[in-house]
Structure 1
Amino acid sequence: MNPSELPVVALTLGDPAGIGPELIARLLGQTDATQHANVVLIGDPWLWAEGQRIAGVRVPTTPVDDFAAVRGRAQPQTPAWLAVDTVSPEQVQRGVAQAPGGASVLQVLNACMDAAQRREIDAICFAPLNKFAMKQGGLKHEDELHHFAEYLGVTSYFCEFNTLGDLWTSRVSSHIPLKDAASYLSQERIQAATRLIYRSLQAAGVAAPKVAVAAFNPHGGDGGTCGREEVDIIAPACEALRAEGVPVGGPFPADTIFLKARDGEYQAIVTMYHDQGQIAIKLMGFSKGVTVQGGLPVPITTPAHGTAYDIAGQGRADVNATYNAFRIAARMGASVRSAA
């Protein structure tokens, strides 16, 4: 790709008390990242220096004054560096969720979303954050996805995707008590989740993805003897999707559906609640998984693992998931740019 045509991808350092700064330093210091995107890194100078020190790398960057200066740079093979002051070293205790760190994360992510709305960047990839720290620091939603959606004015269906290699998953309900999961099931939500992951996979470069839909009850409800959600809600939703041309299979029992995906029958799985998909994905590849914030006007990705407070500062963080998250952001950002 011509360097001038590369998508602009913003990278953030994540929670300053976690492994994020080290991961971004490893990403930019040991990979071919700038071959896939025109990268702009945004963060506090002291935190970026600390991340490089922990990772044992030194990453050359080109300072910029704002996001608007990134697109069309003469040398996009060197990451752009946008310095901000959001938190001081004295406010951060490594390995501890604290309000100043959470507020820092929010400030940086909001700046990136502002830039995306101005079309100065095409995608965002953020290093791991901590929801508790963010709530202490001002987050008013159950998770970052709902913050993104409100900030960007999204009123249509949105949900998290979790990906592992060629397999993507979405879910009908997410960060809610399990006792409430059944109340979130509806034909409309299942259809919306399926259409969204189907379109998002196409945007990520999969021409004709096949989608499997999970059942809700054990054994897929056993014909209604073990719950009627499959009979009354899920199966009719699948039939309606097939009628409109979406290649959907199911509902399949949740304890076998991932075997079908593992064997290549499907590229996406729609699950009914959080752990139904998360347990399988993380068991299959915890250090490689990616979370994609689905349904937003700008692609936003992050490694699926957390801040790993227990190993922060030790130089042991595995960069694989961060690299995968960055590559998905770059591919989806390229799709956004070509459509503009």
Structure 2
Amino acid sequence: MFRPRIAVTTGDPAGVGPEIVARAAGVLRPRIENGEFALLLIGSAATHKAVLADLGIEDVSPAITKDRLADPSIGLAFHDVDQGGARVPVGRSTAEGGRVAYDAIAESVRLALDGTVDAICTGPISKEALNFAGHHYSGHTELLADLTKARDSVMLLAHGNMRVSHITTHVALEDVPRRVTPERIRRVVTLTDEALKALGLGRRKIAIAALNPHAGEGGLFGRQDIDVVEPTIRELKASGFDVEGPVPGDTVFVKLHAKQYDAVVAMYHDQGHIPVKLLGFSVDAETGKWNALSGVNVTLGLPIIRTSVDHGTAFDIAGKGIASETSLIEAIELAIQLAAARQPARRLDAVP
């Protein structure tokens, strides 16, 4: 039988990563034991075990030694990248937390590149802590692109049928217009189409959101949509892509939610993130607090498969035992699906 193996990083150990990873592993353990897939958790064992002990969460992932990392018979295990390290203080951004988070990501990428795992799923990290530790990246997407030597990666958010990829992400708003180029638009549309195909969609209709209000209103509000986006869309259509636009940003996501499209290409970070997170975060009307987080972050254009939770470290609730594992489970599920679509996972002669 075929069983994909997914590396799951616990993210910044000071955030909610350890508790949501442990809960997700507990929820998924019956399926792991049934041989459907395998999980290799990666992080700081000292902090992971301490957090779980404090919260009374069962630790279902036994430690694994380096010489057994490639053992295909192991369904669930924890790989410590901070051997001998002390517990990282919970609830705040530190250089130590950033170092552990980086080491876990780097190790997961190494294992994915050498074929030990079929995909990686990353827990939330702190950009501030990452930089405190001397790793000067603006986020996971940029870090992974550097580690894998990818030339031009793309961020895609997914929540149900809401699939949104991005022309730009972590850049200043004033820099966005000059980054909206024909080459970048073609790259994002191509990778988005490939992702939709991997997800098994027959129809792959992609809308490109306009950069300016009303798609520029005939040039009154800017000409990028007219001079850059429209000609590129015509070229993409001629190449066989089912693409439409530029569609004004105030209606394109409503149409996506209504399933008129299968994905939207957003021009910048907040244009794409706000609609997905608005639908993905379940809020208690009485308390004003969110009680569930749903949604997955996928990095397209890498030589490896990478998914992630669609939320941050939540330092304010870390260690309180109230963080939701929903987004992480969805991210793991999607990693499994994409791994199966890209290539047959390793064959097992026996499953535990």
Q: CA deviation at 1:37?
A: 2.0
Q: How does 1:303-318 map to 2 (within 5 A)?
A: 303-318=309-324
CA contact (8 A) 2:25 2:60 kept: no
CA contact (8 A) 2:10 2:18 kept: yes
Letter paired with 2:321: G
**1:21 lines up with 2:27 in the alignment:** no
Give the SS at the match of 2:249: coil
Inter-partner Cα distance in structure 2 for 1:69 and 1:89: 23
Inter-partner Cα distance in structure 2 for 1:68 and 1:120: 10
Task: Give 2:187's aligned residue.
Answer: 192
Letter paired with 1:37: F
Letter paired with 2:44: D
Letter paired with 1:60: V
Inter-partner Cα distance in structure 1 for 2:155 and 2:310: 10
Task: Give 2:213's aligned residue.
Answer: 218
Q: How many residues align?
A: 332
**1:298 lines up with 2:294 in the alignment:** no
Task: Give 2:64's aligned residue.
Answer: 64
The TM-score normalised by the length of structure 2 is: 0.89
Inter-partner Cα distance in structure 1 for 2:84 and 2:126: 15
Inter-partner Cα distance in structure 1 for 2:249 and 2:83: 44
Inter-partner Cα distance in structure 2 for 1:17 and 1:129: 9
User: Of residues 145, 148, 156 in structure 2, which corresponds to 1:149?
Assistant: 145
Inter-partner Cα distance in structure 2 for 1:208 and 1:39: 32
Shift in alpha-carbon separation, 1:87–1:200, aligned structure 2, 3 A = farther
Give unpaired runs (5+ residues) of structure 1: none
Q: CA deviation at 1:253?
A: 0.2
Task: Give 1:120's aligned residue.
Answer: 116
Q: Which moved more, 1:244-253 or 1:135-144?
A: 135-144
Q: Could you list the per-position Cα deviations for residues 136-167 of structure 1 after superposition, in whole angstroms to 9, with x for gaps in the alignment? A: 11212322212211211212x21211111122
Q: Could you list the per-position Cα deviations for residues 260-288 of structure 1 after superposition, in whole angstroms to 9, with x for gaps in the alignment? A: 11111112110111111111111111310
Task: Give 1:229's aligned residue.
Answer: 224
Q: CA deviation at 1:205?
A: 3.1
Inter-partner Cα distance in structure 1 for 2:110 and 2:213: 44
Q: CA deviation at 1:201?
A: 2.2
**1:88 lines up with 2:85 in the alignment:** yes
Q: Percent identity?
A: 33
Task: Give 2:285's aligned residue.
Answer: none
Task: Give 1:41's aligned residue.
Answer: 41
CA contact (8 A) 1:54 1:314 kept: no
Task: Give 1:259's aligned residue.
Answer: 254
Shift in alpha-carbon separation, 1:68–1:231, aligned structure 2, 3 A = farther
Q: Could you list the per-position Cα deviations for residues 304-333 of structure 1 after superposition, in whole angstroms to 9, with x for gaps in the alignment? A: 110001101111001111111111111112
Shift in alpha-carbon separation, 1:67–1:290, aligned structure 2, 3 A = farther
